[in-house]
Amino acid sequence: MKLITPPLLLFYNDFRYPSWKKWKAESSERLAKPERGKMRVHKISNVNKALDFIASKGVKLVSIGAEEIVDGNVKMTLGMIWTIILRFAIQDISVEETSAKEGLLLWCQRKTAPYKNVNIQNFHISWKDGLGFCALIHRHRPELIDYGKLRKDDPLTNLNTAFDVAEKYLDIPKMLDAEDIVGTARPDEKAIMTYVSSFYHAFSGAQKAETAANRICKVLAVNQENEQLMEDYEKLASDLLEWIRRTIPWLENRAPENTMQAMQQKLEDFRDYRRLHKPPKVQEKCQLEINFNTLQTKLRLSNRPAFMPSEGKMVSDINNAWAGLEQAEKGYEEWLLNEIRRLERLDHLAEKFRQKASIHESWTDGKEAMLQQKDYETATLSEIKALLKKHEAFESDLAAHQDRVEQIAAIAQELNELDYYDSPSVNARCQKICDQWDNLGALTQKRREALERTEKLLETIDQLYLEYAKRAAPFNNWMEGAMEDLQDTFIVHTIEEIQGLTTAHEQFKATLPDADKERQAILGIHNEVSKIVQTYHVNMAGTNPYTTITPQEINGKWDHVRQLVPRRDQALMEEHARQQHNERLRKQFGAQANVIGPWIQTKMEEIGRISIEMHGTLEDQLNHLRQYEKSIVNYKPKIDQLEGDHQQIQEALIFDNKHTNYTMEHIRVGWEQLLTTIARTINEVENQILTRDAKGISQEQMNEFRASFNHFDRDHSGTLGPEEFKACLISLGYDIGNDAQGEAEFARIMSIVDPNRLGVVTFQAFIDFMSRETADTDTADQVMASFKILAGDKNYITVDELRRELPPDQAEYCIARMAPYHGPNAVPGALDYMSFSTALYGEKKMCSGIPHTAAILKENSKPLTHTQSTQTYTGDLGCEFQLLTLMLNK
């Protein structure tokens, strides 16, 4: 029976003796040649130090001295080793207040009881078939051994399997030899007991490792969830800010269009924006605030530092950007409607300008040529007089057209002021008319002067033609004006305006009988002229020398006027019907808006009362709020119906409504605020429930907190000012004095409940503070202690240890984030779990490394000389025992 190596000599064995045979050979050689002199003194001194330390730990050494060990007394040395093993590896084992040996045996019996063919009664023959060792491993690590394939009649395979698995996966050295155990009738009890105690110590820490792993998993899971929430917040905030950044320039673009169709398309695009594009973004903004509040609550509950979004992505930044969006949106629709009115007005003025310009150009056509004629040079006296009278009539006609020219110029000026897109052509045409008008005035004056010079020579004039001309010209001008008015377009927006036009038209029709009498009188003058010509055979050219207006022209224009009157009647009737339809649309919209507007205000007030009252539990309040939310969402079809009526009103170009003070914009803003308020209120109650459950606050405590908070919330704003909060704390029993110490304590509390220094304390922050000190949360020290258990009490941990003890995803998470460990005794690939643990909680804490062996020697013994230190690592037997005792002390 060979004892390969006891577990307490592993440190020495790993560095010096890879096998027992080599150690035994070298020991025998040294024992055969004991050294003397100075080296022997050093060895005895070193061994005495080790023996003193062992004795200080309560180990009784009987008849064992340093000289026997230095002289190579094998029996004494082995007895010494067994005493150390018994003291440090077995003596501490205790199961149900039994002795170490009995406790270890009882532990083995309990662990192997469920396995067939295993009956542990002692520490020698009960272990010969190897099934006992395999059962212990399978009981604690069933994945390492397939126990069902083991056979009792193959002890050698069973023993080698147990020894290989224990060495490879459990870090238990191969202390026993399978052949020796099988070939010995009664295996060495001490060797078996020593090896089995290694299993006890290996598996006794499994529960601690599992607990530590579970704690780390919990912490990492919370951290991973929080990081995912942070990433989701950052992405949603970036997307929302990018949408606002793209939308604001579009809303701020006030570049006018030249046509009514283009402006109406802009208005339709704006309606699509309000109906289709903006509402989802409103929901995203609300959800973003909810996610932010939930994340902050979870961070507080898990004792993590508050989340600070990237620069420019705070909730306040998003609110500011949203306010800029609404500011840009506020005047955009009003600008669109004003532009449509302006274009409508411009189209009307442009058409009016073209009509008047065409009439004037038609009238002036040929007038310049007529005024430049030299016909008076060869005319007779009567012809000269006729020409003079005709010229006077022309001047009368010219003066009558002065108003039309002024109207044309005024319309052109107004088109310029309204920024008409075709102003250059209008200005050019107006300038041409004005220049022509000035030229006509000059030519008229020049011809009058010529006729007046000739008048002294010519005295005959036909008074009758002159009277005809004087009466025909104004009447003709009146008919042209009447035709122009009857064909003039009109724009009205109310029934009163169309009624005014109808009244004016009726007044015009009342003047037609008098106008017909005037026409008959003018025609009578012409008939009288014809009678005189026929009676007196006057040599006439066949036309009136004083005017170009013929009776046929007068009759033709009169007939045209009579035809235009019924057309005007029809147009006025159609416009009157359209205005009646518009009035029905106004009343229909006003009736619905006057119901929906107050309903929204009432719901806002009811939600405000629910958020501050304390009827029932938080779950009752939450259910009540969700029922309110459902009833509000069910009201959405009425809002959509009102949107449809509003669209009809805008399509009908109705710009005002005296039947209601509510606009569609008021209703939209109120509806959005209602949805946002109910969502925020529900989120606040959910966070209160989350805080209550996480902190262990009872419903009575929550009611007491809410009652105290509401009592000092004088303005019902849902927040407390510093003085109100201070009074609330005093009412709850906090001793906050008015001296410097009390002010400092209150300032500390305010920094907790109002970290952003906004000057107000929300109810959620108030609850967090009241329950803060009673919370059972994880700390950085607890996480470090858990990692230390997994690392085997080292100040660093390896990649293999992490992957062995933690789930794969969380092990890789730690490996990716842990910094390399550079402290004493660091091994390649060592990771610093201390800095990682403190970083999880936003702390900064320096971690000290493990003292190296020289430091341990210095602390536990007198200082060694350079020669002695060298002997320690060159195989000197006395120093080997000293290192052994120091490792036991650790």
Integer angstrom CA distances of residue 528 from 236, 282, 531, 535, 819: 94, 85, 5, 10, 123
Say yes or no to pLDDT of 758 above 80: yes
Which token pair is 858?
Answer: 């210095």
Say yes or no to pLDDT of 134 above 90: yes
Say yes or no to pLDDT of 629 above 60: yes
Say yes or no to pLDDT of 645 above 60: yes
The domain that contains 402 carries what CATH number?
1.20.58.60
pLDDT of residue 7: 42
Phi, psi of 117 (to 5 degrees): 65, 15
Digit-coded pLDDT (tens) for 454-495: 666 444 345 777 787 888 889 889 888 888 888 887 777 777
Digit-coded pLDDT (tens) for 556-592: 989 988 888 888 888 888 878 887 788 788 788 888 8
Which residue, 680, 679, 676, 686, is CA-closest to 767?
686
Digit-coded pLDDT (tens) for 599-608: 888 888 877 7
Query: Residue 847 domain-assigned?
Result: no
pLDDT of residue 831: 92
Which residue, 818, 822, 816, 850, is CA-closest to 834?
818
401 neighbors 476 (Cβ within 8 angstroms): no
Phi, psi of 181 (to 5 degrees): -65, -45
- Per-residue pLDDT band at 772 (split at 50, 70, 90): low
Integer angstrom CA distances of residue 110 from 119, 165, 195, 220, 508: 10, 21, 18, 36, 122
Say yes or no to pLDDT of 883 above 50: no
C-alpha torsion angle, residues 768, 769, 773, 776 (rounded to 10):
10
Which residue, 229, 357, 219, is CA-closest to 293?
229
pLDDT-wise least confident of 88-102, 194-208, 377-391:
88-102
Crossing angle for the helix pair 618-634 and 664-695, to the nearest 10 degrees: 160
CA atoms within 13 A on the CB side of 177: 12
90 DSSP assignment: I
Say yes or no to pLDDT of 8 above 60: no
pLDDT of residue 589: 80
Phi, psi of 707 (to 5 degrees): -65, -45
Integer angstrom CA distances of residue 364 from 118, 367, 397: 132, 5, 11
- Strands 831-832 and 761-762 come out as unpaired
Say yes or no to pLDDT of 13 above 50: no
Residue that finishes a domain, picked among 345, 375, 397: 345
Separation between Cα atoms, residue 428 and residue 287, nearest integer Å: 60
Give the torsion sign (CA, 41, 47, 53, 56). Answer: negative
- Strands 761-762 and 719-720 come out as antiparallel
Separation between Cα atoms, residue 167 and residue 197, nearest integer Å: 14
251 neighbors 811 (Cβ within 8 angstroms): no
Place of tokens 């009102």: 642
| The total number of structural domains that make up the chain | 4
Please list, in sequence order, all residues whose beta carbon lies within 8 angstroms of the beta carbon of residue 79, skipping any fewer than 6 positions away. Answer: 64
Query: Residue 248 domain-assigned?
Result: yes
Same domain membership, residue 338 and residue 370: no
Which token pair is 441?
Answer: 């005035």
| 3-state SS assignment for residue 614 | coil
Separation between Cα atoms, residue 332 and residue 273, nearest integer Å: 12
Which token pair is 505?
Answer: 């038209």
Same domain membership, residue 427 and residue 292: no
Separation between Cα atoms, residue 833 and residue 839, nearest integer Å: 10
Residue that finishes a domain, picked among 695, 729, 764: 695
Which token pair is 774?
Answer: 């009673």
- Strands 719-720 and 819-820 come out as unpaired
CA atoms within 13 A on the CB side of 374: 2
Q: Which long-range contacts (CB under 8 A, 24 or more apart) does 613-621 make?
A: 614/703, 614/706, 614/707, 614/710, 617/699, 618/685, 618/688, 618/689, 618/692, 618/699, 618/702, 619/689, 621/685
Which token pair is 514?
Answer: 């008098």
**CB burial of residue 160 (10 Å; 0-12, 13-18, 19+):** middle
Separation between Cα atoms, residue 522 and residue 766, nearest integer Å: 99
Same domain membership, residue 410 and residue 273: no
Domain containing 818 equals 780-839
Place of tokens 């309000």: 274
Integer angstrom CA distances of residue 83 from 6, 7, 98, 193, 630: 11, 13, 19, 13, 79
Same domain membership, residue 520 and residue 416: yes
CA atoms within 13 A on the CB side of 708: 20
pLDDT of residue 160: 92
Same domain membership, residue 389 and residue 438: yes
What stretch of H or E contains 645?
Answer: helix 636-651
Say yes or no to pLDDT of 811 above 70: yes
Please list, in sequence order, all residues whose beta carbon lies within 8 angstroms of the beta carbon of residue 90, skipping any fewer than 6 positions away. Answer: 100, 101, 104, 193, 194, 197
The H helix count followed by the E strand count for the chain is 37, 4
Which token pair is 272?
Answer: 């699509």
Separation between Cα atoms, residue 885 and residue 291, nearest integer Å: 58
Which residue, 447, 451, 428, is CA-closest to 439?
447
Say yes or no to pLDDT of 183 above 80: yes
Place of tokens 């009673």: 774
State mean pLDDT over 661-682. Answer: 86
Same domain membership, residue 474 and residue 381: yes
Same domain membership, residue 310 and residue 377: no
Same domain membership, residue 520 and residue 373: yes
Same domain membership, residue 411 and residue 264: no
Same domain membership, residue 391 and residue 309: no
Query: Residue 85 domain-assigned?
Result: no
Say yes or no to pLDDT of 759 above 80: yes
The domain that contains 823 carries what CATH number?
1.10.238.10
SS (H, E, C) 480-504: HHHHHHHHCCCCCCCHHHHHHHHHH
Digit-coded pLDDT (tens) for 70-120: 777 776 676 777 667 665 556 556 555 566 778 888 889 988 998 988 999
- DSSP letter for each residue of 36-83: -THHHHHHHHHHHHHHHHHHHTT----S--HHHHHTT-HHHHHHHHHH
Same domain membership, residue 622 and residue 489: no
Which token pair is 53?
Answer: 């330390």
pLDDT-wise least confident of 2-11, 582-591, 730-739, 832-841:
2-11
196 neighbors 123 (Cβ within 8 angstroms): yes
C-alpha torsion angle, residues 375, 380, 384, 390 (rounded to 10):
-80
Same domain membership, residue 294 and residue 253: yes
State mean pLDDT over 708-721. Answer: 77
Q: Which amino acid is at 171?
A: D
**CB burial of residue 669 (10 Å; 0-12, 13-18, 19+):** middle
650 neighbors 263 (Cβ within 8 angstroms): no
415 neighbors 426 (Cβ within 8 angstroms): yes
CB count within 10 Å of CB 327 equals 12
Centroid of chain to Cα 57: 65
Digit-coded pLDDT (tens) for 35-84: 455 687 778 888 877 877 777 766 666 667 777 777 777 766 767 776 67
- Strands 719-720 and 831-832 come out as unpaired
Which token pair is 254?
Answer: 């006030």
Which token pair is 852?
Answer: 């190296």
Separation between Cα atoms, residue 888 and residue 694, nearest integer Å: 44
C-alpha torsion angle, residues 704, 705, 707, 708 (rounded to 10):
110
Query: Residue 519 domain-assigned?
Result: yes
177 neighbors 156 (Cβ within 8 angstroms): no
pLDDT of residue 529: 66
872 neighbors 883 (Cβ within 8 angstroms): yes
Which residue, 792, 834, 794, 828, is CA-closest to 170?
792
Give the torsion sign (CA, 134, 140, 142, 144). Answer: negative
Say yes or no to pLDDT of 205 above 60: yes
Query: Residue 682 domain-assigned?
Result: yes
739 DSSP assignment: S
Which token pair is 249?
Answer: 């320039």
Residue that finishes a domain, picked among 654, 674, 695: 695
697 neighbors 767 (Cβ within 8 angstroms): yes
